[in-house]
Structure 1
Amino acid sequence: MMVSRKLFLFFLCLPAIFSSCTGRFVDINRPGSKLSPDELKRDNYAVGSFLIQMQGVAFPEQENAYQTMIDFVGNYLGRYTTYTKELPKNHTLFNASNAWCAWPASYAPPIVSAFNEVVKLNGKENISYAWALILRAQAFLRFTDIYGPFPLSMNNGSDEVYSSQRDIYLQLINDLNEATTLIASDTHLAQERETLASYDLVYKGDFNQWRKFANSLKLRIAVRISNVEPVMARSLAEQAVRDGVIEENEDNCTISYHKSGLWTTAVSWGDSRICADIESYMTGYKDPRMSKYFLQPISTGVRRFIGCRAGAPIGSNVVAKRLYSTVNVSQTTPGIWLTASEMAFCKAEGVLRGWNMGGGTAKEYYEEGIRRSFSQWDADGVATYLMDNTSTEANYIDAIGGYGGDAVKVSTITIKWDDNATMAEKMERLITQKWIALYPNGQEAWNEIRRTGYPHIFAIPQTTNGYTLLTPNRIPFDKNQQIYNRQNYTKAVELLGGPDDYATRMWWQR
């Protein structure tokens, strides 16, 4: 894999990585600058630089951050893409090197230090603090959903002491509530927007949009914890919907990159290709979004799109890149992190659970989720798609000369909503369509597979280090913690409630 720089150098260079976002930031950080503290505070120069750094972890663009934190974990394990390199050790095979296990956690210190600097410079009763709370919640939600227990250094001042996943979730909920309250009560939003807009890579200083995003994170969290904390989940979900979540595609959380991490890793480097699982479902459903999601392989045949089995024993990266389809992104394609479509599917599940999601039915929100996704991708044919009650996942047929082999379909779920179906059928139908619409947010795709067991996915076509799971439940901790942080590591395993391996479940899976 092309992880070419040392991580500590990456962290030192974080401000430089994002400096192109604003020329003024470049001036501030030029070596030899002798700006006073008052000058640094003017126009939020210093605060803005740290908020840019936080966005770089919350919504990673830089290729090393994207590959090690997003590709290796969410995208591969969520069955959107899979590796094309000759990799005998990786998370898909449940045997990744310790470096792969340690990488995601190593991105926590930069966001914590940046958050602390924002507080030090501006205090807590302002919009920059509310914004920093939201960015930190977005990042730490990913960290805990990768490992489970995690150092909650945001509060106890230590990056060595682990907190339980439940405690982290409770803290993130409190942080998001504090942030949305601050934004709702602020009487200087216009002024804040003017001074912070140039540092906002997502909503350009529109903090009412950030409030919607924060409420949407609450709804995402509520759905995630619905099996383990049903009362709390219902209250949180109903509050989020009442206060206003993302409902229109123009409000989606997307970020325009100078060089997309997904484009770099999948297209430029060619380290991954689309996964057989999503290709087989979309092929079977004759899904019009396929041409929006994927590109034809170089070695074209009768089929327009060909995915690769997750965990396939790749013999040649050069051959694999030619045989299998890649993602349809350009260097400047925006990253997609939370959408109106996802929120509609969350509401549909909420209704199935008896929650008040605004008065709509499960069918109405389910169909809205699909419509929003088709509109988001500018795809035609949604009316026909919604009425299809016969199409199912296709059998997977490997490329000629491919590496994973054929596979019989593992699902017979159709598209059209059926109010008379069993609860299990409704959930499979809903989550399968949600999973397709979540693309390319692999972390959320992996979360849904682990949380619900849907969509059904193909078996790994080679040995998986003794595991019988189809995808890991978590990523093991950095083994060096057993040496340099042994006491806290031991406590972390206790909080985990099982061995420090790929099989132990997340708190919210129980």
Structure 2
Amino acid sequence: MKKSILLILGVLLAIVSCTEDFEELNTRKDAITTPKPGELFMVIAQGPIYNYQRNVNLYADLYSQYWANTISGFESGRYEYVDGWVGNKWREWYTVGLADIRTLQRLYGEDPVYSNLMQVLEIWEASEWLRMTDYYGDIPYFGAGLGESVPYNSQQEIYYDLFDRITAAVNTIDVNDTSQFTLEQEPGQIISPDIIYGWDLEKWKRFGNSLKLRMAMRISNVDPGKAQAEAAAAINAGVMQSNDDVAHIPAWDDDRAFYDYLRNMAISWDNIRCSKTFLDFMYSETSMEDPRARIWFAYKSSSPLVDNERLEGVANGYNILPVGSNDFATMNADTNYIGFAGDGVTFNHFQPVMMYTEVLFLQAEAALRGWASGDADALMLEGVRASMEFVGVDPADATAYINELPALSGSNEEKLKHLITQKYIANFPNGKEAWADFRRTDYPDITLPIDGVSSAASVAPGTWVKRIRYSNNAHELEQEFMPAGQNTIDSDRMDIRVWWDTADTKTKSNGLMNSNF
């Protein structure tokens, strides 16, 4: 009996010993069990560019009318929602992007040596939250990313919290603390893990302040007191100073983000052509062709344009594209414009997050409203010139175009329309911002789908799309947490305005709105 007991105890001890060593025995000695901060930050910073076609091009790029769809059956241009496309945006943010951010914060956020990294991450996370709430409106925010479903917060609550978070992050960054961990480029790396600014913390601070200025002007109609205060604070703290401060995301040959961006969509796949709306602005603002037009666009055929030949675009919202699609302009495959082709050495393309030209136009609007010093007209022209320089326009051509631009004149509403139209051109190809500006100000003049709003869309005929509805997955799992008026697929309409969109997007007889002042 004693021998049996001793035998059983021996077996149990052996089992315990084995299970105690199980994790060690079954872990590769060369495996990376904790991601390095730079590796994880690079993945986080590239998040917005993944699935670009489905998340952005088939929606914001078409809604802003920078591009027009050329594929029959792709009805998002007629305001249909396709969950297998833009639904990725919702799922990728909440299950991947936000989870990666929380992991980086959990692993390194308690160590003071990573304080600057945490502040940079905070600014980037804020830009991503802004991207999400401006698409959808009210979304899960407070407590999101911690493994449990949380109530949807109002867009106003989110904006107010983001203002505070960005301000705190910018003020906490210490550029002089040499004890801080850095994301600088190491030997053998083609780029710094900080793919946005190469660990230039002053640029990160200017980006944070510029992001606050974007948010402030976004709420100018719905919350002007808050907008004025935040705009002044952002400008005084220091916003972008030149094209060297542009925030954009690079991608290269061995990177999966390279596959899914404008060059492939326009040239390789021929899924898009330039919108007629956008190209018409290349010829309507002055007596000359906008000198950016032929840098951005060309025809698919190899025959060169003659000097007086006008580029023509596709009207938005065709159900079936008319015959002769090669007669419509597409992306210029030969251009070295940084927004498309990259730098010609390391990167295949860049996706803009925020351009310096946008910051100048934001300051121009703040000046127009009397919220900031400076001359609105001069700031607008400076914004146009910054765009020309960034695109690579010959300085003499840029000056000729700028000299022909009419000065801001008439009522404030007339001035704003002119200013936003020029901003719309200069912000190309950032369709997310162009669509947001149109919803906020109702400028520039954008057409309704030429074949009408789709009968399968949740947008009333004769009106514009105002937001993206929540994903099917969200409706299945979070219905009880959603806003009461949008907690079913039928009620979650895409003609419901987000918080900062105060008008119905209907013009008066003179082409002006009455909602912006």
Closer/same/farther in 2, CA of residues 274 and 46 from structure 1, 3 Å limit: same
Matched, 1:87 2:73: yes
Matched, 1:330 2:335: no
Indicate conservation of the 8 Å contact 1:147/1:474, yes or no.
Answer: yes
Closer/same/farther in 2, CA of residues 360 and 314 from structure 1, 3 Å limit: same
Residue 115 (structure 1) shift: 1.1
Residue 387 (structure 1) shift: 2.9
Indicate conservation of the 8 Å contact 1:448/1:454, yes or no.
Answer: yes
In the alignment of these two chains, the number of paired residues is: 437
Matched, 1:288 2:291: yes
Distance in structure 2 (CA, Å) of the matches to 1:167 and 1:462: 38
Distance in structure 2 (CA, Å) of the matches to 1:93 and 1:195: 45
Distance in structure 2 (CA, Å) of the matches to 1:236 and 1:488: 30
Distance in structure 2 (CA, Å) of the matches to 1:36 and 1:327: 42
Gaps of 5+ in 1: 1-30, 389-414
Q: How does 1:238-253 map to 2 (within 5 A)?
A: 238-253=232-247
Counterpart in 1 of 2:126? 137
Counterpart in 2 of 1:298? 301
Residue 439 (structure 1) shift: 0.3
Residue 298 (structure 1) shift: 2.1
Q: How does 1:91-490 map to 2 (within 5 A)?
A: 92-108=77-93, 109-123=95-109, 125=112, 126-152=115-141, 155=144, 157=146, 158-184=148-174, 187-188=177-178, 192-194=182-184, 198-259=192-253, 260=258, 261-285=261-285, 286-298=289-301, 303-315=309-321, 320=325, 322-328=326-332, 329-330=340-341, 332-356=348-372, 359-380=373-394, 381-388=397-404, 415-418=405-408, 420-464=409-453, 465=455, 467-469=460-462, 471-490=464-483
Indicate conservation of the 8 Å contact 1:149/1:164, yes or no.
Answer: yes
C-alpha deviations, 1:174-200, integer Å up to 9, x for none? 221122112147623875253797211
Indicate conservation of the 8 Å contact 1:348/1:362, yes or no.
Answer: yes
Counterpart in 1 of 2:337? none
Residue 299 (structure 1) shift: 7.9
Amino acid in structure 2 at the alignment position of 1:187:
D
Q: Give the secondary-structure state (helix, strand or coil) at the position aligned to 1:509.
A: coil
Indicate conservation of the 8 Å contact 1:193/1:207, yes or no.
Answer: no
Backbone CA RMSD of aligned residues = 2.7
TM-score (norm 1): 0.79
Closer/same/farther in 2, CA of residues 314 and 330 from structure 1, 3 Å limit: farther
Indicate conservation of the 8 Å contact 2:364/2:377, yes or no.
Answer: yes
Indicate conservation of the 8 Å contact 2:54/2:86, yes or no.
Answer: no
Closer/same/farther in 2, CA of residues 266 and 160 from structure 1, 3 Å limit: farther
Distance in structure 2 (CA, Å) of the matches to 1:444 and 1:249: 18
Q: Give the secondary-structure state (helix, strand or coil) at the position aligned to 1:194.
A: coil
Closer/same/farther in 2, CA of residues 236 and 495 from structure 1, 3 Å limit: farther
Closer/same/farther in 2, CA of residues 36 and 502 from structure 1, 3 Å limit: closer
Work out which of the two has the higher radius of gyration on C-alpha atoms and give 1 or 2: 2
Residue 161 (structure 1) shift: 2.8
Distance in structure 2 (CA, Å) of the matches to 1:103 and 1:160: 20
Distance in structure 1 (CA, Å) of the matches to 2:71 and 2:482: 32
Question: Which is richer in helix?
Answer: 1
Matched, 1:34 2:30: yes
TM-score (norm 2): 0.78
Distance in structure 1 (CA, Å) of the matches to 2:128 and 2:65: 21
Q: Give the secondary-structure state (helix, strand or coil) at the position aligned to 1:278.
A: helix
Residue 86 (structure 1) shift: 0.7
Indicate conservation of the 8 Å contact 1:152/1:162, yes or no.
Answer: yes
Counting aligned pairs with the same residue, the percent is: 27
Indicate conservation of the 8 Å contact 1:111/1:136, yes or no.
Answer: no
